[in-house]
Structure 1
């Protein structure tokens, strides 16, 4: 089977999932012929992906999300304005994606939450079947967990998710745990995609906390928490660290962002404090490390992840860097959750291969709006 990837290039989650599936497909004897990666004028293909992915990579322009430079809050209005501003180059990108698909003629296209995929299939109708993979597709599931209020952000999130998956044969919704499929929405619930590097680590008990600090505000909260609990050892990875190991005092050390070292620290920490990105929380769950999940401000998706992660028992949701909340939670954490998570993850190999086989054998291909038109679209947006 020849497989072409379409990958959203923002953050590391979808790119990491693409690397994991590529490893899986190569193990099964299939060929990943390339990856089309969405980039912006300010964001190129990350080195960790380009240095690891073994097939050709084609950067394709795709409008990205806009965050406040000071607070790191997601700004939906500016994101929409930017998308309108770049409508012409975006249209050229759609035509390029269509041309590559029709020229390369893969057996299936796998789209990792890149809007270029859904709109190409909606407007230009490539003849190759497509499936979509992302935890965001759980938004179309009846068990989807979401915070109260935030109506505007909820609608923006669901519309954006919808635009990524027009024309897809199936939506593979990555989930913390097993949930029933919902064929009516073409949703199949599947385990998280984790890199082989995670599965090869041997976790050990630790006494230190590991923090992943991406927001300026979180660093301030970290320092306050450290002052309140100076006896608790904290290793904090953040982009502004001056070197690999920047020692603040006896119990606080900053580390420059380094994916490999971060995983090594995670394997031997007691617990992790992080934003509520799906990928990092799943990695912690696999290694048996409870997580304090702090969604980025105005980031509806991360708010949902935190609630769902708490439901699944992988950690606790919080609004700020609150060590008191984490320390109170740790004695109650059920460590058998990690065993169940690992068992669920182990089912992924066969489930993903089965989905690809279904996509290549099913006929006829769905139209660009099957399952998402008229009253059904309005019902989904109301959900």
Structure 2
């Protein structure tokens, strides 16, 4: 069986998930990957056969989306050409992790696909949303990468087609420790936005992962790290807690390890606002913005005696079997 797997490379989570899935997918057949988007920072150790600039999310300086830069980065004519050029009819199964180019290609070439991943979970109305829904956000969930079939991933099973998060082997096999540092991964924030707040807590050590950092180094109470999978896994496994955005993969791994999580969703990023709503239901502390007294909020979070929720890890082979059964079922 020949498999086509589309990765939306607007962030590292989609790539990390695909890397974990790859050896399991190989049990079902040969796999060719399509990488769409250009602002992920993880190395892609996968057999990527096709690429497109696609549509990528770009960030402002301190925690928001840069809509002008996003709009300027979209090349609809090139995306249409890329979609027409994908030889999808060569493949027996097309798996789409929320990529618009692949969805368009399926429509143009009249082939079926299955949307697989975190975004697929939002097809269900039962998946948590913030108090105020976004019409634009809901439209994107339904129409950005449409597919007749969906297999979702989320913190809990909100609907019958939603499965637990896919956790990396390094996390599954880890023996967590608490070496008291706080891991920080906030890719939508520049260093200048948060550095002073961290320095105002001199007794607390921070491991801060930044795309602009090239080599690991320590200044005062902050150790700066490049975005590197091995460094990050080690820091997460041994941290006391993590300050991160409103993504899916990183909070999932942290909660699986029973670590404290402080989530700061990207401003005006509806998917992250939805994830924040789900995290709140689990009892995780969420900040809608950093504010001027961020150091006080960090201290309050560290001192809070809330119980860390437990989440399950995905049984990948079982989930993939369900995916292939769903794909081949009548539409």
Matches within 5 A, 1:33-182: 33-39=31-37, 43=38, 48-49=43-44, 52-53=45-46, 55-68=47-60, 70-71=61-62, 73-76=64-67, 79-80=70-71, 82-83=73-74, 86-97=75-86, 100-102=87-89, 104=90, 106-126=91-111, 129-149=112-132, 154-168=134-148, 170-181=149-160
Shift in Å, 1:293: 0.5
1:15-44 Cα deviation digits (max 9, x unpaired): 122222223223xx22242011113xxx37
- Judging changes above 3 Å, is the alpha-carbon distance between structure 1 residues 263 and 139 closer, same or farther for their aligned structure 2 residues? same
Give the equivalent residue in structure 2 for 1:241: 213
Q: Name the counterpart of 1:224.
A: 197
Q: Distance in 2 between matches of 1:268 and 1:328?
A: 21
Specify the alignment match of 1:349 in structure 2: 317
Distance 1:15 1:160, change over 3 A: same
CA distance in 1, matches of 2:192, 2:229: 19
TM-score (norm 2): 0.88
Q: Which residue of 1 aligns with 2:264?
A: 294
Distance 1:207-1:82 versus aligned 2 partners, 3 A rule: closer
SS at match of 1:35: strand
1:310-329 map, 5 Å: 310-313=280-283, 315-318=284-287, 319-320=289-290, 322-329=294-301
SS of residue paired to 1:48: coil
Q: Gapped runs of 5+ residues in structure 1?
A: 182-187, 366-383
Structure with the largest fraction of helix: 1
Displacement of 1:120 in angstroms is 2.2
| Aligned mates of 2:214, 2:40 — CA distance in 1 | 24
Question: SS at the partner of 1:20?
Answer: helix
Equivalent residues, number: 327
Deviation at 1:248, TM superposition (A): 1.3
Distance in 1 between the 2:208 and 2:70 partners?
30
Q: 1:219 to 1:348 in 2, by over 3 A?
A: farther
Normalised to the residue count of structure 1, the TM-score between the two structures is 0.77
- After TM superposition, give the deviation of residue 80 of structure 1 in Å: 4.7
- Equivalent-residue separation in structure 1 for 2:48 and 2:215 (angstroms): 32
Deviation of the 1:82 alpha carbon: 5.0
| Cα distance in 2 between the residues matched to 1:138 and 1:94 | 24
- Per-residue CA deviations over 1:251-286 (Å, capped at 9, x if unaligned) read 322222212101101100100011121111111112
- The RMSD of aligned alpha carbons is 2.5
Q: Residues 46-97 of structure 1, C-alpha deviation per residue, up to 9 Å, x if partnerless?
A: 6621xx22x34311241323433x34521446645654xx222111111012
- C-alpha spacing 1:219/1:295, structure 2 compared with 1 (3 Å): farther
User: How far off its partner does 1:242 sit?
Assistant: 5.4
How far, CA to CA, are the matches of 1:45 and 1:292 in structure 2?
Answer: 22
Q: CA deviation at 1:174?
A: 1.0
Q: Distance in 2 between matches of 1:5 and 1:57?
A: 10
Segments of 5+ residues of structure 2 without an aligned counterpart are: none
SS of the residue corresponding to residue 254 of structure 1 reads: strand
Deviation at 1:194, TM superposition (A): 2.3
